[in-house]
Amino acid sequence: MRPVSVVGIGQTPVLKEHSESLRQLGARAVRMALEDANVDDVDALYLANMLGDELQGQKHVAALVADEAGLRGVEALHLRAATASGAAALRVGYLAVASGAADVVVVAGVEKMNAPGVTPVLAKALDAEREVPDGATLVSQNARLMRWYFRAYNPPQDALAPFAVIAHRNASRNPLAMFHKPDLSVADVMDSRLISPPIRLYDCAPISEGAAAVVLAPASQARTFSDRPVNLLASSVATDRFRIEDRDKPLELAAARLSAQRALQQAQLAIEDVNFFEAHDAFTIMTCLLLEAVGFAAPGEGWRLAEGGDISLEGRIPLSTMGGLKARGHPIGATALYQVCEIVLQLTGRAGDNQLPDPRRALMQSVGGAGVTVITHLFGLQNAA
Amino acid sequence: MRPVSVVGIGQTPVLKEHSESLRQLGARAVRMALEDANVDDVDALYLANMLGDELQGQKHVAALVADEAGLRGVEALHLRAATASGAAALRVGYLAVASGAADVVVVAGVEKMNAPGVTPVLAKALDAEREVPDGATLVSQNARLMRWYFRAYNPPQDALAPFAVIAHRNASRNPLAMFHKPDLSVADVMDSRLISPPIRLYDCAPISEGAAAVVLAPASQARTFSDRPVNLLASSVATDRFRIEDRDKPLELAAARLSAQRALQQAQLAIEDVNFFEAHDAFTIMTCLLLEAVGFAAPGEGWRLAEGGDISLEGRIPLSTMGGLKARGHPIGATALYQVCEIVLQLTGRAGDNQLPDPRRALMQSVGGAGVTVITHLFGLQNAA
């Protein structure tokens, strides 16, 4: 396999609502990434979008965005893995370049969610036969995990709230983030509305709109496109039993553990080699479980990383450094591409007020459903790889 | 890139309706293919499904089918390119094995279409902003192409009907086909109901249900799985302008031409090296245009291949030998996987009453929308490759 680099990035602001259509918004991010990489054309577009079928009535979105972006004759495929769809597209872009089938590809994600009926559409990430009829939603499934976590480990009632506080603090210095609330407090989180007990409003990522894209090329050619290419060191997908009640140890997030192990093995790295973690922090409980699954904390101890400041920008393992899904926003199909853009900004010293001191390697995870599909990617500055 | 082989196939019958759920039907095809390849486990499942979002309320289908098929921990991604979704999944399975990222993968497709409201859901393959508001459907777009074709070339009014007749004759000897009407005549086609003038009922593939799957492995290891492996010689995707009115020469199907050219170039073959063609014959006009686009006939002459018998099983370039989309049936996400299964049966001498004499290489195309996305694959018996 050929080593693969990220040689261009493009991200629109994450907003509650964008005025552009799905096609236009996606094409804008694609063109931004092409411009950043200084390329006019690519071999392929791999596009992620989860909700366009119902919310925009669009099922052929990859070809539609390719056309709108002016990419003529290009390969265009649409990737999905529920709420991990963006990372699924990145995975396929990686395979295309690593295999030699393509040289330069663009991977993009777009989502417009500010539409009536978004909640039942999101619930289609669950099993329509065995989960949804019981009233399950993505929120209620995460609420079950959170109840089980508190029952198993008995942490303080506000143990997870600092995850939200730190995410909002990071987002407040990211001009593209949806929220800018630097002073959100643990008390604000604990006073917020109960959505699905014990999950409160500030435990959840928001409904968002946005698009982001990255250009991939062979690492050996990367410097023709970019002064500071970032290598994609590993790419891995794992799944767990679909229903959480079918899992032996649901708090262990077996797919997160497995895909992280596979990715670290591919890159021949240990978890200690990772300097920061762009996590799929759609719910505070998911953040905590991911930290434990990938090995940053022992089981039952993930919440202590937030309490102690280890995950802040100055800490041992900075988390979701530009605000994460929680506060940068979570336009689903685009989310993983925002994560890649942010990782590239950090590794190349362009993260502005949120810049980490000399980060070398980043771990990124995306979660489809309630821990069903977990996709892990590892990145490193080309010199550090 | 490593050469890739097909080492196992599985196909359920194509029916108007299957009693199993989407999950169950997909998993059945996966298990059939694994059994055929004599493997218990795989590295990945790449799954195609186009309509499950709306018709079954399922958006996380790859992980769902993986779970139902007993594939624990496996990579599972969901691929889409509208009506070419099955070939999109095959493309990604090919990239995974060719790159070395995976050794043994299963590529599957499943579709259940016998549900209220299927027609407007199918129309989401078009542009919801610029085509659907004018009342466009997949049928009406193909009807436009057919009107333009007759205006441009002025063939006999029943010029395309023999495509349907030959497809039904082939399907009648395929026990898995949806239709068994060996005696369908040109007159029957021309007397059938007008759906969207000049397209009649028998110009169209039916609404169908089914699932099919194939196992891919590195060609170098193929004989550990199968006595008669078939090599996947090339894989290529191209897109055209999304709206047919934006195309300079809409009857040329530029994406079909381009993806066929790229595939032939990858395999270092000429069109004359191809022994049979599994085409995306969802409409008789599409069959005709594809024959012209890939170079089996000159522009305006494709219909003569049906009239003269060149595309029958005994002809020069047998077409859709097991009945094609037209008469085997067209369960969309599964269709391309049925095509692969049928190609493997032909190349390995297991095509029963439809067996071609000593075929060596096959061309397969899948079309998303009205010629927007066209995916081409080439296959050859391992010795012939």
pLDDT in tens, B55-84: 999 999 999 999 999 999 999 999 999 999
Q: Are strands B44-48 and B105-112 parallel, antiparallel or unpaired?
A: parallel
Residues of B3-37 as b/e, b for ≥16 C-beta within 10 angstroms? ebbbbbbbbbebbeebeebbbbbbbbbbbbbbebb
Q: Tokens representing A168? A: 């909002």
A59 touches chain B (CB under 8 A): yes
d(CA B347, CA B228): 9
What pLDDT score was predicted for residue B383? 73
A355 touches chain B (CB under 8 A): no
Closest approach of A140 to chain B, Cα-based (Å) = 17
B117 touches chain A (CB under 8 A): no
d(CA A145, CA A148): 5
- Mutate which: A25, A58, A95, A372, vs B, most B CBs within 10 A: A95
**pLDDT at position B134 over 70:** yes
What pLDDT score was predicted for residue B308? 86
Sort out which chain A residues have CB atoms less than 8 A from B232's CB and list them.
none
| Sign of the CA dihedral running B129, A78, B279, B294 | positive
pLDDT band of A385, cuts 50, 70, 90: very low
A350 touches chain B (CB under 8 A): no
What pLDDT score was predicted for residue B382? 83
* Nearest-Cα residue of chain B relative to residue A127: B58
Residue A23 to residue B76, Cβ atoms within 8 A: no
Average model confidence (pLDDT) across chain B: 97
pLDDT band of A383, cuts 50, 70, 90: confident
Q: DSSP 3-state assignment of B318?
A: coil
Sort out which chain A residues have CB atoms less than 8 A from B128's CB and list them.
56-58
Residue A60 to residue B88, Cβ atoms within 8 A: no
A residues 218-237 lying closer than 8 A (beta carbon) to B: 235-237
Residue B95 to residue A96, Cβ atoms within 8 A: yes
- Of all residues in chain A, what percent carry a pLDDT higher than 70? 99
**pLDDT at position B369 over 70:** yes
Q: Express each pLDDT in A229-246 by its tens digit.
A: 999 999 999 999 999 999
- Mutate which: B23, B25, B30, B95, vs A, most A CBs within 10 A: B95
B118 touches chain A (CB under 8 A): no
Sort out which chain A residues have CB atoms less than 8 A from B44's CB and list them.
237
- Mutate which: A80, A85, A366, vs B, most B CBs within 10 A: A80
Element (H, E) at B64: helix B61-68
Q: Which residue has the higher pLDDT, B382 or B102?
A: B102
d(CA B272, CA B268): 12
pLDDT band of A382, cuts 50, 70, 90: confident
Residue B63 to residue A242, Cβ atoms within 8 A: yes
Closest approach of B171 to chain A, Cα-based (Å) = 29
A44 touches chain B (CB under 8 A): yes
- Mutate which: B42, B53, B60, vs A, most A CBs within 10 A: B60
Task: Name which of B1, B53, B132 is nearest A100 (Cβ-Cβ).
Answer: B1
Residue B54 to residue A54, Cβ atoms within 8 A: yes
B50 touches chain A (CB under 8 A): yes
A367 touches chain B (CB under 8 A): no
Structure-derived torsion over alpha carbons of residues B5, B6, B7, B10, reported in degrees to the nearest 10: 170
pLDDT band of A74, cuts 50, 70, 90: very high
What pLDDT score was predicted for residue A267? 97
**Other Cβ atoms closer than 10 A to A198:** 15
- Mutate which: A60, A107, A124, A249, vs B, most B CBs within 10 A: A60
Sort out which chain B residues have CB atoms less than 8 A from A54's CB and list them.
53-54
Closest approach of B319 to chain A, Cα-based (Å) = 25
Closest approach of B346 to chain A, Cα-based (Å) = 27
Sort out which chain B residues have CB atoms less than 8 A from A82's CB and list them.
59-60, 63
d(CA B347, CA B355): 9
Nearest residue to A6 via CA among A27, A33, A25: A33
3-state DSSP helix/strand/coil percent for chain A, to nearest 5?
40, 20, 40
Residue pairs between chains A and B whose CB atoms are closer than 8 Å? 195
**pLDDT at position A364 over 70:** yes
pLDDT band of B285, cuts 50, 70, 90: very high
A118 touches chain B (CB under 8 A): no
Sort out which chain B residues have CB atoms less than 8 A from A78's CB and list them.
79-81, 88
What pLDDT score was predicted for residue B275? 98
Q: DSSP 3-state assignment of A189?
A: helix
From residue B336, give the alpha-carbon distance in Å to each of A62, B229, B361, B375. 19, 18, 17, 10
**pLDDT at position B277 over 70:** yes
**pLDDT at position B385 over 70:** no
B246 burial (CB, 10 Å; 0-12 / 13-18 / 19+) is: exposed
Q: Express each pLDDT in B186-236 by its tens digit.
A: 999 999 999 999 999 999 999 999 999 999 999 999 999 999 999 999 999
A56 touches chain B (CB under 8 A): yes
Average model confidence (pLDDT) across chain A: 97
* Nearest-Cα residue of chain B relative to residue A99: B99
Task: Name which of A53, A64, A236 is nearest B242 (Cβ-Cβ).
Answer: A64
Structure-derived torsion over alpha carbons of residues A120, A126, A127, A133, reported in degrees to the nearest 10: -40
d(CA B366, CA A80): 20
Residue B53 to residue A56, Cβ atoms within 8 A: no
Task: Name which of A73, A96, A101 is nearest B239 (Cβ-Cβ).
Answer: A73
pLDDT mean over A302-327: 96
A20 touches chain B (CB under 8 A): no
d(CA B186, CA B166): 10
pLDDT mean over B288-308: 97
| Max intra-chain CA distance, chain B | 57
Sort out which chain A residues have CB atoms less than 8 A from B71's CB and list them.
239
Residue B59 to residue A124, Cβ atoms within 8 A: yes
What pLDDT score was predicted for residue B257? 98
Whether the Cβ atoms of residue A334 and residue A86 lie closer than 8 Å to each other: yes
Residue B125 to residue A73, Cβ atoms within 8 A: no
